[in-house]
Chains A and B, each alone.
Chain A
Amino acid sequence: MMRSVLPVLTVVGVIVALWYGAAVWMNAPWARDQAARAGVELSLSELVADTMVQERPVLPAPHQVAEGLWTGVTGQKVTSKRSLVRHGWVTLSATLAGFAIGAGLGIALAVSIVQSRAMDLSLMPWAIASQTVPILAIAPMVIVVLASLGIKGLIPKAIISAYLSFFPVLVGMVKGLRAPDAMQLDLLKTYNASGIQGLWKLRLPASMPYLFASLKVAIAASLVGAIVAELPAGATSGLGARLLSGSYYGQTIQIWAALMAAAILAAGLVAIVGLLEKVVLRKMGMAR
């Protein structure tokens, strides 16, 4: 345990130290400026102290971000507009809905591609092309078009989130479903097994390690999709909206606190999928 904790703590320590250095360096001009206007001289220690406590720093110091995160989470009722729990939940619900749609779509498309050569030839190029279009260009269109149809709130965000998350699942599952070797396929042939039987008995179970690897990528992509979907069209809640309003009003601490909340959320989601992977693969005798 200590062996793995020590290197991680070292890296965190280095990052925090660099961060403090950068905060002093980037916030110092404003502090000097203010001092010059007031007609006072700042000593070095006063200057450094000032860069740590500015209200709208260029780069907030780590403890300011931590404080912003803490008050955002615990400082008010979760129903408050300033609560990060509320905003986080809005984003999380869109992320989970988008992930469910994306993963389902990815698996379904992968199955059809592996089962049918025509689908393989016709579908795969489109799937790849879809990922070359920047999500930032598509998100506003989806939101506006759906809003004109009267669909607002969770659904449009989930669709954009699914747009990002289906692809890794599709690619991973195509590889996974094709993982069984020629001998195992021949064996099923000698049983005169149907394509569906081959899918259920061999291809799907054999693809599980690939599925979980791609789900980990997909759930992180889902979160990115949900946040991006909150940026256009003036959404008022969600971590993306929090980022956007922070940047409108120069609330850098708010931006960083929302960023950190998103990062923690992403890490948590990936960890949950990872745990699920361990349990399922161990149960299936496929743990590595």
Chain B
Amino acid sequence: MSLHEAPAIEAKEVSLTFETADGPVHALSDVNLTVARGDFVSFIGPSGCGKTTFLRCVAALEHPTEGLLRVNGLSADEARRRRAFGYVFQAAGLYPWRTIAGNIRLPLEIMGFPREEQDRRVEEVLELVDLKGFGRKYPWQLSGGMQQRASIARALSFDADILLMDEPFGALDEIVRDRLNEELLKLWARTGKTIGFVTHSIPEAVYLSTKIVVMSPRPGRITDVIESSLPRERPLEIRDTPEFIEISHRVREGLRAGHSYE
């Protein structure tokens, strides 16, 4: 299998156990998952189900204690060294001493892009996240939603194949979140990236994803993987269709099966 045909994320029997003072904690247990290139995959489940841990494993911020994990056909560490993914955290985490453009430039500086290339890419991603003209502003001059958009632009700036997002809109109110979800779908359509998205909101997961991974805690494991039948083009109103409600129902069932409501 050549590098370009390898799935974006491939996990086989992945387990991760943290040794703590109170004994071992099974954060992930026998996770099997294949994410094709261009997929939008959401990880949903209650706290402690390992959704964030799995995403961190993909980003090589954590390392599985057992099993095989390939990212673009490479080990997670190798993929990280090749800068295969951009990571968006729950908090925007912009540097207060840099302007918005300066913040987006940060990964480009670290990766050694030439100056003109940096300028071009900053302008490009600013437009992509609808922040054109805000490059010279400082983070504190922007609202929370705009700051999070800037952090997405930062993750997009070096044009990695994979975008990993850990509850990126978790701290925002629902109205802002709806808009950002809509924009994220447009962005996904325009860039064709593979997106891994952690959330604990069922409507968010169903609205965004082509694939929904339902997880449950103690030990952290996958209880259901749902291939969405919704079309790729999704207006916000799609959330009122019977199909959407049916998928939401199945996610809820999956969560219930994992005793997530206990």
Chain A contacts to B: CB under 8 angstroms: 183-184, 186-193, 197, 201-202, 205-206, 208, 284-286
| Given the contacts A202-B95, A284-B96, A285-B97, A188 and B110 also touching, CB distance less than 8 Å | yes
Query: Which residues in B have their C-beta under 8 angstroms from that of A186?
Result: 56, 59, 61, 87, 89
Contact, CB under 8 Å: B80 / A285: no
Give Cα A193–Cα B110 distance, bound, in whole angstroms. 6
Give Cα A286–Cα B140 distance, bound, in whole angstroms. 10
Give A284's nearest chain B residue, CB to CB: B97
Chain B 136-162, CB within 8 Å of chain A: the 1/0 string?
A: 001110000000000000000010000
Give B56's nearest chain A residue, CB to CB: A186
| Given the contacts A183-B89, A285-B139, A192 and B97 also touching, CB distance less than 8 Å | no
- Segment 26-64 of B: residues with Cβ below 8 Å from A: 56, 59-61
Contact, CB under 8 Å: A191 / B95: no
Q: Which of A183, A188, A205 contacts B97 (CB 8 A)?
A: A205
Contact, CB under 8 Å: B89 / A187: yes
Contact, CB under 8 Å: B83 / A191: yes
Q: Does B111 contact A (CB under 8 A)?
A: yes
Chain B 71-106, CB within 8 Å of chain A: the 1/0 string?
A: 000000000110101110101010111000000001
Q: Does B243 contact A (CB under 8 A)?
A: no
Q: Does B109 contact A (CB under 8 A)?
A: yes
Query: Which residues in B have their C-beta under 8 angstroms from that of A192?
Result: 80-81, 83, 110-111
Contact, CB under 8 Å: B80 / A187: no
Nearest 8 pairs between A and B by C-beta?
A284-B97, A190-B87, A285-B96, A191-B107, A193-B110, A285-B138, A191-B110, A205-B97
Give Cα A26–Cα B50 distance, bound, in whole angstroms. 76
Query: Which residues in B have their C-beta under 8 angstroms from that of A202?
Result: 95
Give Cα A186–Cα B53 distance, bound, in whole angstroms. 13
Give the dominant DSSP class at A's interface. helix
Give Cα A201–Cα B112 distance, bound, in whole angstroms. 13
| Given the contacts A183-B89, A285-B140, A190 and B80 also touching, CB distance less than 8 Å | yes
Q: Which of B89, B96, B109 contacts A286 (CB 8 A)?
A: B96
Contact, CB under 8 Å: B93 / A190: no
Give Cα A42–Cα B62 distance, bound, in whole angstroms. 88
Give A208's nearest chain B residue, CB to CB: B97
Chain B 109-149, CB within 8 Å of chain A: the 1/0 string?
A: 11100000000000000000000000000111000000000
Query: Which residues in B have their C-beta under 8 angstroms from that of A184?
Result: 93
Query: Which residues in B have their C-beta under 8 angstroms from that of A201?
Result: 106, 109-110
| Given the contacts A183-B89, A202-B95, A190 and B106 also touching, CB distance less than 8 Å | no
Query: Which residues in A have their C-beta under 8 angstroms from that of B61?
Result: 186, 189-190
A176 CB, nearest partner CB in chain B, Å: 13
Give A197's nearest chain B residue, CB to CB: B110
Contact, CB under 8 Å: A183 / B91: yes
B164 CB, nearest partner CB in chain A, Å: 8
Give Cα A183–Cα B151 distance, bound, in whole angstroms. 13
Give Cα A191–Cα B106 distance, bound, in whole angstroms. 9
B31 CB, nearest partner CB in chain A, Å: 21
Contact, CB under 8 Å: A187 / B87: yes
Give Cα A65–Cα B148 distance, bound, in whole angstroms. 61
Query: Which residues in A have their C-beta under 8 angstroms from that of B89?
Result: 183, 186-187
Chain B 11-37, CB within 8 Å of chain A: the 1/0 string?
A: 000000000000000000000000000
Give Cα A188–Cα B140 distance, bound, in whole angstroms. 21
Give A205's nearest chain B residue, CB to CB: B97
Give B160's nearest chain A residue, CB to CB: A190
Contact, CB under 8 Å: A190 / B85: yes
B63 CB, nearest partner CB in chain A, Å: 12
B78 CB, nearest partner CB in chain A, Å: 11
Give Cα A189–Cα B61 distance, bound, in whole angstroms. 8
**What are 15 A-B residue pairs whose CB atoms fall within 8 Å in the complex?**
A183-B89, A186-B61, A187-B93, A190-B80, A191-B110, A191-B111, A191-B158, A192-B80, A192-B81, A192-B110, A197-B110, A201-B109, A201-B110, A202-B95, A206-B95
